Amino acid sequence: MISDNKTKSTFLITSLIFLILGMVVAVTRGSFNIPILDVFQAIIYKIGIGTVPSLDNEIVVWQIRLPRIFLSVIVGVALATAGTTYQGVFRNPLVEPYLLGVSSAAAFGAAISIVLHLSFLSMQLTSFVFGMIAMIFAYSLATVKKETPLINLILSGIIVSAIFSAGLSYLKMTAGFRELRDLVFWLMGGFYTAKWGDVGLLSVLITISFILLWSLAWKLNVLTMGDQEAQSLGVSVKKVKAVSIVLSTFITSIAIGTVGIIAWVGLVIPHMARMTIGPDHRYLIPASAIMGGLFLVICDTLARTLTFGEIPISILTSVIAAPYLIILVRKNRNLYFG
Amino acid sequence: MIKINNLSFNYGTLKVLKDITFNLEKGKLCALFGPNGSGKSTLLKCLAGLNKTNDGNILINGEVLNNFNPKELAKIISYVPQEHKPPFPFKVREIVLMGRTPHLGGFFNPSKIDLDFTEYSMNTIGITNIADRYYTELSGGQRQLVLLARSFAQNTPIMLLDEPTSALDFRNQINIWKTLKLLTSKGKTVVVCTHDPNYVSWFCDTVAFIDKGALIGYGNAKEVMDNDILKLLYGDICSIESILDMKVIVPSIS
């Protein structure tokens, strides 16, 4: 684990450079590879300088790959940041939005929007609304006498998740043929539908939420000591908790509402980041965000290049992340099970 | 400094504290003394503003405790809980730095003053040698010292400590009590929950005896700690002897 703060900053800058490199490599890779210079040409031509690129290159770079890459990065940032925040607020390294039923609920919300033909923006909105409902429901279900033990939280998360999965099944059953097809494709999760519109909207919302969460970093540190201790150290516990939970649920839901459920990122990336840079949220939150973005860019690039078709991205994230988590949990048993 | 007026507190329907009234003076080391489950820790949490009182009130320098927001209160009162293990491996130095939280500005980047104060606190409590260790890997006693240093770094006029020496070795126990005594001589008001009658009579200025949620005695520690009150609290198991002008509570031999 990195211990001094200067090295931590260096690590952050280095990983940011890696993220950008990853993105650049990702643009050049695909069902046909485009040399880096042609990519560059296509991009600067858009800004208004340089010579006209070939039409193919322009379309592939500008309309297909770039929005997709940006979307995967911003979604990775959202999921990893939300996971980190959840783990800090709930004081447990095993919590993530997925476990509290937020993901299933957000998926249910998006499915409603698909089945009822609501406009596209409302897909993120319905995801958020149902994601919040799930989170509040799970949290209040788990709270007994003002305490929220983790085991209750996980159980109520399972319950809430089950309710919304049932709702989703019902929606599938009643959906028409076309809606059903849309729904099934969307549920598999993936970035192949990426458009600049989504990228713009998500970038703005997620960046703002990220900055707000980052600004709470020190208070999150104190919060991991427990509610009462945090209060005695001058933190307005309820306010900080509410703000950080709502913001993380918000970014998770809108990310899921746009690209479908992508498993594991919110759980494993914060872990990796904490292993590398330590639990101080001032460094952990940005580290997690960058690693989340990089992880999804890599997975998505693999998803579209490994085979002739496209592998659903959740398969890749699971295949990579699940074994990592198994090793982690077995190595640090007492960290998770007291 | 602290006035407690007719304080009552319930956990749900369970009455934990009943009608407690007494005053704590500035610059005194005060013990809350009583058997297990008597309500000492609950009273301490009420003083720290962590338990909202059901009846009665607490005045800090004449102002009602409940009117302070957490940040204001944390500049006046620091609270050392019983030691426990948090979920994430923070370093000792980072934990102590958390004591500076109420003094930090907007974006929570500690200034040089905060960092210096952190080092100074660790130095005073004598834990500089473990500053770079992970808090989660320490022994219970070492964690108590770290929490104490954190409270010291918070630099408040009032310090509340919940059994700060329960897991410490003999040397550290004596050192901590001496440190607390030193702090009071510099004008701080220190309230300590404790089980040990000897330390109460050796180091404390005043003592409040709590039994079954009620205050059964309060006064100068040298005077009120006597065989009658010990008998009331514990029955016939111990008695007070005098050695070198100091009271020593010894088990009764029968």
Range of the domain at A22: 5-331
Of B81, B132, B154, the CB nearest to A228: B81
Identify the pLDDT of residue A338.
41
Q: Report which residue type is found at B239.
A: S
How many angstroms separate the CA atoms of A297 and B49, rounded?
A: 48
The pLDDT value recorded for residue A76 is 96
Please choose, from the candidates B23, B20, B81, the residue with its C-alpha nearest in 3D space to the C-alpha of residue B205. B23
The one-character DSSP state at A147 is B
DSSP β-bridge partners for residue B5: B57
Q: Is residue A336 situated within a structural domain?
A: no
Instruction: Give the number of other CB atoms < 10 A from CB of residue A93.
Output: 22
Instruction: Express the helix, strand and coil content of chain A in percent, nearest 5 each.
Output: 80, 0, 20
Q: What is the CA radius of gyration of chain B?
A: 18
A144: DSSP letter = B
Across the interface, of A221, A232, A280, the residue whose CB is closest to B79 is A232
B100: nearest CA partner in chain A: A233
Q: Which residue has the higher pLDDT, A221 or B53?
A: A221
Residue A105 confidence (pLDDT): 92
What pLDDT, on a 0 to 100 scale, did the predictor assign at position A160? 93
d(C-alpha A82, C-alpha A76), whole Å: 10
Q: Do residues A282 and B108 make contact, with C-beta atoms less than 8 angstroms apart?
A: yes
Q: Please indicate, yes or no, if residue A65 is contained in any of the structural domains.
A: yes
Cα–Cα distance measured from residue A276 to residue A324, given in angstroms and rounded to the nearest whole number: 14
- CA distances to A74, A133, A313 from A207, in Å: 8, 23, 23
Tell me what pLDDT residue A14 has.
95
For B22-45, b where at least 16 C-beta lie within 10 A, e where not — what string? bebeeebbbbbbbeeebbbbbbbb
Paired sense of beta strands B158-162 and B189-194, if any: parallel
Q: Model confidence over B93-147: pLDDT tens digits?
A: 999 999 999 888 766 677 888 889 999 999 988 899 999 999 988 888 889 899 9
pLDDT digits 0-9 by tens, B31-44: 999 888 888 889 99
Tally of domains within chain A: 1
pLDDT in tens, chain A (338 residues): 777 888 999 999 999 999 999 999 999 888 788 888 888 888 888 777 777 777 778 788 888 899 999 999 999 999 999 999 999 998 888 788 877 888 899 989 988 888 887 766 678 889 999 999 998 898 888 888 777 777 888 889 899 999 999 999 999 888 888 888 888 888 877 888 888 988 999 999 999 999 999 999 999 999 999 888 999 999 998 899 989 989 999 999 999 888 888 888 998 999 889 888 989 999 999 999 999 999 999 999 999 888 878 888 888 888 888 888 888 777 765 554 44
pLDDT at residue number A337: 46
Question: Could you tell me if residue A338 is inside a domain?
Answer: no
- What's the CA gap between B199 and B205, in Å, rounded? 11
Residues of B in contact with A217 (CB under 8 A): 108
Sheet holding B14-24, edge to edge: B14-24, B2-11, B55-60, B63-64
Q: Do A226 and B86 touch (CB under 8 A)?
A: yes
Residue A171 domain flag? yes
Q: Tell me the CA distances in angstroms from B22 to A321, B2, B5, B208, one per residue in order.
A: 59, 9, 7, 9
Interface of A with B in 25-44 (CB under 8 A): none
Q: What pLDDT sits at residue A332?
A: 66
The CATH number of the domain holding residue A94 is 1.10.3470.10
Q: Is A244 helix (H, G, I), strand (E, B) or coil?
A: helix
pLDDT category of residue B224 using cuts at 50, 70 and 90: confident
Asked whether the beta carbons of residue A145 and residue B12 sit closer than 8 angstroms, the reply is yes
Q: Compare all CA atoms of chain A with the CA of B71 and give the residue at the minimum distance.
A: A234
Q: Buried (b) or exposed (e) across B170-179, using 16+ Cβ within 10 A?
A: eebbebbbeb
**Is A287 part of a structural domain of the chain?**
yes
Within a domain: A293: yes
Secondary structure of residue B180 in the 3-state scheme: helix
Tell me the chain A residues in contact with residue B154 when contact means C-beta distances shorter than 8 Å. 233
> Best of A84, A89, A144, A233 to disrupt the B interface by mutation (most B CBs within 10 Å)?
A233
Q: Is residue A337 in a domain?
A: no
For chain B, what is the mean pLDDT? Answer: 87
pLDDT at residue A200 in the model = 93
Q: Is residue A270 part of a domain?
A: yes
